[in-house]
């Protein structure tokens, strides 16, 4: 049980698939404060609000601004580029993983994914960044 007076860590979850959003709510909402955006452009607007998230989870294939474009945009900011960034992608190719890692993306998880695995990866990254 989380102490109600302790502020929850914040996750920005960027995903256009409503099913995965529901899955994320079930996975994270008890322990984390989760803010949702349906694409990179919307996520950029969310990042203008404080407090900043402790971690970002983003799909790669989204309308308006892809996850890769979103990461490239935030990587120009000294503050935002320090936020751990996890990619979710239906494309599990080695080339895509390598492209993400070369850019500096923190972690990559292929869809479909195990929600428990995503939760544990998230928890580990947030605790290491604290």
Q: Say which residues have a Cβ less than 8 Å from residue 102's Cβ, sequence separation at least 6.
A: none
For residue 92, pLDDT beyond 90: no
Contact 23, 115 (CB under 8 A): yes
Strands 10-14 and 85-89: unpaired
**How far is C-alpha 66 from the geometric centre of its chain's CA atoms?**
13
SS3 117: helix
pLDDT-based confidence at residue 130 (cuts at 50, 70, 90)? confident
Sign of CA dihedral 32, 14, 84, 23: positive
The domain limits of the chain are 10-129
Distance from C-alpha of 93 to C-alpha of 127, rounded to nearest angstrom: 29
CATH 3.40.50.2300 corresponds to the domain 10-129:
yes
Q: Is the pLDDT of residue 4 over 70?
A: no
**pLDDT confidence bin for 5, thresholds 50/70/90:** low
Is residue 102 scored above 60 in pLDDT?
yes
């Amino acid at each position: 049980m989380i102490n109600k007076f302790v502020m929850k860590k914040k996750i920005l979850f960027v995903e256009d698939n409503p099913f995965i959003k529901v899955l994320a709510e079930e996975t994270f909402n008890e322990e984390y404060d989760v803010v949702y955006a349906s694409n990179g452009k919307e996520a950029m607007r969310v990042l203008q609000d404080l407090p900043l998230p402790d971690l970002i989870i983003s799909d790669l294939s989204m309308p308006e601004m892809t996850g890769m474009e979103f990461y490239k945009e935030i990587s120009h900011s000294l503050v935002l580029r320090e936020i751990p960034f996890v990619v979710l992608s239906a494309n599990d190719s080695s080339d895509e993983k390598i492209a993400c890692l070369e850019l500096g993306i923190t972690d990559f998880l292929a869809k479909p994914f195990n929600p428990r695995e995503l939760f544990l990866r998230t928890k580990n990254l947030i605790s290491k960044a604290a």
